[in-house]
């Protein structure tokens, strides 16, 4: 009996000593965290967890430290151990969601962000994080609702307005693509193009688009009219959100991105570069600014400079699909076709209706002497042939395959398109 009591006393003393040591380590870690010494804090929290495995408060703080040091995998794993069972650890759910976004796992981010918002409905990081997860999953109405919630809650927050503008812009683009495929959608598609060109300040091209839409008016249908109205409404909401952005935060990186896009659309390339470069300085990890710089150089025909910036943009964001296309286009122009083909296939896997990418893939195969593949891709791209060059290259591929009658038809169509384009350019130069 005496021995048993002694053992119990010794165990109690050991437990108290362990508890005291745990508390000391925990407080040391917290102090290091407040000093910004996150790596050292991680070491202390790990030591504390050796004494008390699974301690939720230590795991919670360790997850925060991992996130601060950009060790997103460890942050996600650590936060995921506790956020479901310890809702009182509000930052655990938030860190789990933010880490999942950084790891490009938006599906895994939804539930922890929703719990974080249930605990703290006005948490900015949770609102914007959940919106970003929905945006990454192309769940645009859900993302727009959250960005709108943040914009209403904090009208001066550039992130809310920028996210809202991007959501509406993508929804408008989706409606426009749907409209173009609808029976009778040609009239409204041309009208939308005319309105865009007019807003961009290109009056001559706008008049031409409006003229073509008038010619297609007999094909209009009530369904196409409804989709046209929806596309216009969404585009208007996007413009309004961008306007709120530049009013609320005119010198933010988001506003500079927007100004860069506007100047690029107007082909004011030097002004566009100035805005994109400023946005890149303001937020160096932002791939959109680097993409903007690369795209300007690409549009100016400065392909070596463009490739440098586009490659950096793609390194930061492997999902930057426009950078993928532009890099592939440069490679085709420079006859680096073996490099271009995988990029074009990657792009077309996500954008199967992209005629320009089909044409580039056809050109790459043509350069390599793979004429059957070239004819297949160029044939799919002919609806977008405005210069006659796609039909011309198709004719070459068909001739190599011994399909002379089809080659003659493609060459004839190429000549017709070139003639029509020459007349169009003459009208534009004369201002008629």
- Per residue in 353-382, pLDDT (tens digit) is 899 999 999 999 999 999 999 999 999 999
* Res. 84: pLDDT tops 90: no
The Cα-based distances of 232 to 29, 76, 229, 236, 262 in angstroms read 55, 41, 5, 6, 18
List the one residue out of 307, 356, 196 whose CA is nearest residue 261: 196
pLDDT at 285: 87
* Res. 219: pLDDT tops 80: no
How many Cα atoms within 13 Å fall on the side-chain side of residue 190?
17
239: Cβ contacts below 8 Å, ≥ 6 apart: 165
List the one residue out of 302, 294, 256 whose CA is nearest residue 276: 256
pLDDT at 347: 96
pLDDT at 432: 54
pLDDT at 353: 87
* Res. 425: pLDDT tops 80: no
pLDDT at 212: 59
Cα–Cα distance for residue pair 394/373, rounded to 1 Å:
11
* Res. 204: pLDDT tops 80: no
Average confidence score pLDDT of the chain: 88
* Res. 133: pLDDT tops 60: yes
* Res. 6: pLDDT tops 50: no
Cα–Cα distance for residue pair 216/187, rounded to 1 Å:
5
Cα first-last separation, the chain: 111
The Cα-based distances of 194 to 190, 204, 237, 382 in angstroms read 6, 10, 18, 22
Which is more confident, 7 or 154? 154
In the numeric block, the tokens 């936060």 are attached to: 79
Instruction: For the chain, give the percent of residues with pLDDT over 70.
Output: 86
pLDDT at 207: 62
* Res. 125: pLDDT tops 60: yes
* Res. 344: pLDDT tops 50: yes
The stretch 99-103 carries a mean pLDDT of 94
pTM of the model: 0.78
* Res. 265: pLDDT tops 70: yes
pLDDT in tens, 43-54: 989 999 999 998
pLDDT at 201: 60
Angle separating helix axes 140-153 and 124-136, nearest 10 degrees? 160
pLDDT at 5: 46
Residues spanned by CATH 1.25.40.10 within the chain?
19-137
* Res. 9: pLDDT tops 50: no
Cα–Cα distance for residue pair 120/382, rounded to 1 Å:
54
The Cα-based distances of 373 to 173, 216, 339 in angstroms read 30, 34, 16
The stretch 143-147 carries a mean pLDDT of 97
pLDDT at 15: 39
pLDDT band at 211 (very low <50, low <70, confident <90, very high): low
* Res. 144: pLDDT tops 60: yes
71: Cβ contacts below 8 Å, ≥ 6 apart: none
pLDDT at 214: 57
The stretch 268-291 carries a mean pLDDT of 95
The stretch 142-166 carries a mean pLDDT of 95
pLDDT at 188: 73
Q: List the single range of 63-72, 157-166, 197-206 with lowest mean pLDDT.
A: 197-206
pLDDT at 221: 75
pLDDT at 4: 46
Instruction: For the chain, give the percent of residues with pLDDT over 90.
Output: 68
pLDDT at 360: 98
Say whether domain 19-137 belongs to CATH 1.25.40.10. Answer: yes
pLDDT band at 341 (very low <50, low <70, confident <90, very high): very high
Cα–Cα distance for residue pair 29/67, rounded to 1 Å:
15
Which is more confident, 410 or 18? 410
């Amino acid at each position: 009996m005496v021995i048993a009591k002694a053992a119990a006393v010794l165990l109690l003393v050991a437990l108290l000593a362990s508890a005291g040591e745990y508390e000391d380590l925990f407080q040391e870690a917290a102090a290091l965290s407040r000093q910004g010494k996150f790596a050292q804090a991680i070491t202390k929290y790990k030591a504390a967890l050796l004494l008390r495995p699974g301690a939720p408060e230590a795991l919670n703080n360790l997850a925060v430290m991992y996130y601060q040091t950009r060790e997103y995998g460890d942050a996600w794993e650590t936060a995921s151990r506790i956020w479901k069972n310890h809702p009182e650890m509000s930052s655990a759910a938030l860190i789990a969601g933010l880490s999942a976004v950084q790891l490009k796992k938006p599906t895994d981010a939804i539930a922890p962000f929703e719990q974080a918002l249930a605990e703290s409905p006005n948490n900015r990081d949770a609102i914007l994080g959940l919106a970003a997860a929905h945006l990454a999953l192309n769940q645009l109405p859900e993302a727009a609702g959250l960005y709108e919630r943040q914009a209403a809650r904090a009208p001066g927050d550039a992130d809310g307005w920028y996210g809202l503008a991007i959501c509406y812009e993508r929804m408008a683009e989706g409606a426009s693509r749907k409209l173009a495929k609808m029976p009778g959608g040609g009239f409204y598609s041309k009208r939308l193009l005319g309105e865009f060109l007019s807003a961009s300040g290109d009056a001559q091209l706008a008049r031409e688009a409006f003229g073509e839409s008038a010619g297609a008016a007999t094909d209009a249908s009530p369904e196409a009219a409804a989709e046209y109205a929806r596309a216009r409404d969404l585009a208007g909401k996007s413009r309004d959100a961008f306007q709120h952005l530049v009013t609320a935060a005119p010198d933010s990186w988001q506003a500079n991105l927007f100004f860069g896009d506007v100047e690029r659309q107007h082909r004011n390339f030097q002004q566009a570069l100035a805005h994109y470069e400023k946005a890149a300085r303001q937020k160096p990890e932002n791939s959109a600014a680097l993409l903007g710089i690369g795209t300007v150089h690409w549009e100016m025909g400065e392909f070596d400079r463009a490739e440098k910036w586009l490659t950096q943009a793609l390194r930061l964001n492997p999902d930057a699909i426009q950078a993928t296309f532009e890099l592939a286009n440069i490679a085709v122009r420079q006859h680096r076709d073996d490099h271009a083909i995988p990029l074009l296939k990657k792009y077309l896997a996500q954008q199967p209706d992209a005629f320009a990418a089909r044409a580039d893939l056809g050109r790459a195969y043509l350069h390599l002497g793979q004429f059957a593949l070239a004819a297949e891709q160029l044939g799919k791209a002919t609806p977008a042939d405005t210069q006659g060059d796609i039909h011309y290259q198709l004719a070459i591929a068909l001739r190599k395959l011994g399909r002379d009658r089809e080659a003659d038809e493609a060459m004839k169509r190429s000549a017709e398109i070139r003639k029509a384009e020459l007349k169009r350019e003459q009208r534009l130069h004369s201002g008629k």
